Amino acid sequence: MEVLSVTAEIYPLIKTGGLADVAGALPAALAEQGVTMRTLVPGYPAIMAKMTDGRVVASFDDLFGVKAKLIAGQAAGLDLIVLDAPALYDRPGNPYLGPEGWDWPDNWKRFAALSWVASELGAGLVEAYRPQVIHCHDWQAGLVPAYVKFGPASSVKTVMTVHNMAFQGNFGGEIFGQLRLPPHAFAVDGVEYYGGVSYLKAGIECADFVTTVSPSYAAEIRTHEFGMGLEGILNNRPSTVDGVLNGIDLEAWNPATDPALTQNYSANTIQYRKANKTKLQESFGLDKSDGPLFAVVSRLTWQKGIDLIAANIDMMVAAGAQLAVLGSGEVGLENAIRAAAQRHPGKVGLVTGYNEALSHLIQGGADVMMVPSRFEPCGLTQLYALRYGCIPLVARVGGLNDTVIDANVAALSADVATGVQFSPPSEGALANAIRRTLALYADEKSWKKMQKRGMKSEVSWQASARRYAQLYASLIGYKLDDNSDD
């Protein structure tokens, strides 16, 4: 099966969050299931610089008013088709934001162009390459299903994966005339949304199948509380919406070989984590203490419940804990953590910005990874934490609910607990969960057992890659060899 994946970010070339990890890991995971996946990405400088043996497979004199080329080639071991349109993508920094931190004003055009080109590939733009399915990630690829639905007849099928309902790509209705869609696409069964244009709504409405990244989030987004206005559209098509849990790349995230760690280790040599903890304490200006070291690796946003952590820091420090925070995001949240670090020198540390290597060292050295999200489509940090023997402390929502087993009395006595969950996402409930975690940490033997259990948790892509392969097959009428355990 030939599948074209369309994404605005892909690890290791360009990453702002979990979407990049997923887009980067899927092709290899799917190859084992007999799927050939190429990925269409914008030609950002970071990607253009890494392309080797690129060949021009199509050119456009007027792609939404700019000149563009489509280049097929390899970068960082990934099979890419790159939309080289310098007027749209040859810009510094983040895929979505300008240097001042604001959305690029022409984002509607940058991602409409990407999506239009994907649909053209589906319709046979390049003779030698005919994807059977286009797998669209998030709002940036949300117009693909609309272009396929309203464009020239083609047999290509579309899957829309929602990684986060909070980002919808909503624009004013005035852009519609420039989208290269027929007038009747500006309607409820097309791209129209409350008089404007919504890229994510278009994708959910027009795709042959909609997935999100965990079973719990798939159920949550059908409700008013989590659907962010799109629950009605999802509820109109219940049999073609599903949750497929993310996995992680077991090679990129392997404590036994990870070059970012001071000391590599496995479940059997978990005591070696100590050297990483010491290095981590140094990196964050923390005292060398044997007390529990809590950590955060996250976008600092309301979604991630960072304010709930800030509200609990004084209590944590009073109880003998340390906290290391790596992240960037909302200024108010950064300032709240920075103020706590100033109040508690040697106990609380903040590193702002994006630092891939440091994120690995944190997983390999911290005792507890905090993910107190208000909503979490899947969440990858808790999966990395499990693999690294760092105990996840998570809110009971979305993918966090599906991947961490709470250390309640029953789970502890059945030897299945892998972390701590709490609900609802409030300051008080988090405080209780922190106290519970501190008590668990004090029991060294059972803590170690829980770490080892987490390290053996199933966090690979295998089952979910199989699920995606089955989905593609069902859409194009293929029968897969039944060599799996399902």
Give me the residues paired with residue 78 across strands: 75
Choose from ligand ADP, ligand GLC, none: what does 243 bind? Cβ within 5-8 Å by kind.
none
CB 329, min distance to ligand GLC, A: 13
**Using the rule CB under 6 A, is 455 a contact of ligand ADP?**
no
The string over 205-235, giving b where at least 16 C-beta atoms fall within 10 Å of a residue's C-beta and e elsewhere, is bbbbbbbbbbbbbbebbbeeebbeebbebbe
Calculate the alpha carbon distances from 408 to 82, 371, 436, 439 in Å: 49, 18, 10, 12
**Using the rule CB under 6 A, is 163 a contact of ligand GLC?**
yes
8 A C-beta contact, residue 392 and residue 420? yes
Choose from ligand GLC, ligand ADP, none: what does 354 bind? Cβ within 5-8 Å by kind.
ligand ADP
Size of the site for ligand GLC (CB under 6 A): 14
Pairing of strands 348-352, 420-422: unpaired
> Which residues lie below 8 Å from residue 177, measured CB to CB, with a gap of 6+?
none
Piece of the chain touching ligand GLC by CB under 6 A; list 17-25, 171-179, 266-274, 443-451: 17-25
Q: Which residue is nearest to ligand ADP (CB)?
A: 18
The one among 95, 142, 169, 379 contacting ligand ADP by CB under 6 A: 379
Residues 199-238 contacting ligand GLC, CB under 6 A: 213
DSSP per-residue letters across 394-463: EESSHHHHHH--B--HHHHHTT---BEEESSSSHHHHHHHHHHHHHHHHSHHHHHHHHHHHHTS--SSHH
Give me the residues paired with residue 40 across strands: 6, 81
The one among 5, 132, 164, 322 contacting ligand GLC by CB under 6 A: 164
Residues 31-60 contacting ligand GLC, CB under 6 A: none
Residue 321: strand, helix, or coil: coil
Tell me the per-residue interface mask from 243 to 282 with ligand GLC, x by CB under 6 A, - otherwise. ---x------------------------------------
Residues 318-337 contacting ligand ADP, CB under 6 A: 326-328
Residue 137: strand, helix, or coil: strand
Q: By C-beta, is 21 or 402 nearer to ligand ADP? A: 21
Choose from ligand GLC, ligand ADP, none: what does 213 bind? Cβ within 5-8 Å by kind.
ligand GLC
Q: Is the peptide bond before 131 cis (omega within 30 degrees of 0)?
A: no
**Using the rule CB under 6 A, is 380 a contact of ligand GLC?**
yes
Alpha-carbon gap, residue 5 to 28, rounded angstroms: 12
Alpha-carbon gap, residue 203 to 180, rounded angstroms: 16
CB 379, min distance to ligand ADP, A: 4
**Using the rule CB under 6 A, is 329 a contact of ligand GLC?**
no
Q: By C-beta, is 158 or 164 nearer to ligand ADP? A: 164
Amino acid of residue 71: I
Residues 339-378 contacting ligand ADP, CB under 6 A: 354-356, 359, 378
Q: By C-beta, is 68 or 78 nearer to ligand GLC? A: 78
Question: What kind and span of H or E run contains 46?
Answer: helix 45-48
Residues 169-198 contacting ligand GLC, CB under 6 A: none
Piece of the chain touching ligand ADP by CB under 6 A; list 125-133, 187-195, 294-302, 454-462: 294-302
Q: By C-beta, is 88 or 386 nearer to ligand ADP? A: 386
The number of beta carbons lying within 10 Å of the beta carbon of residue 422 is 22
Where along the sequence are the contacts to ligand GLC (CB under 6 A)? 17-19, 22, 163-164, 213, 246, 376-380, 399
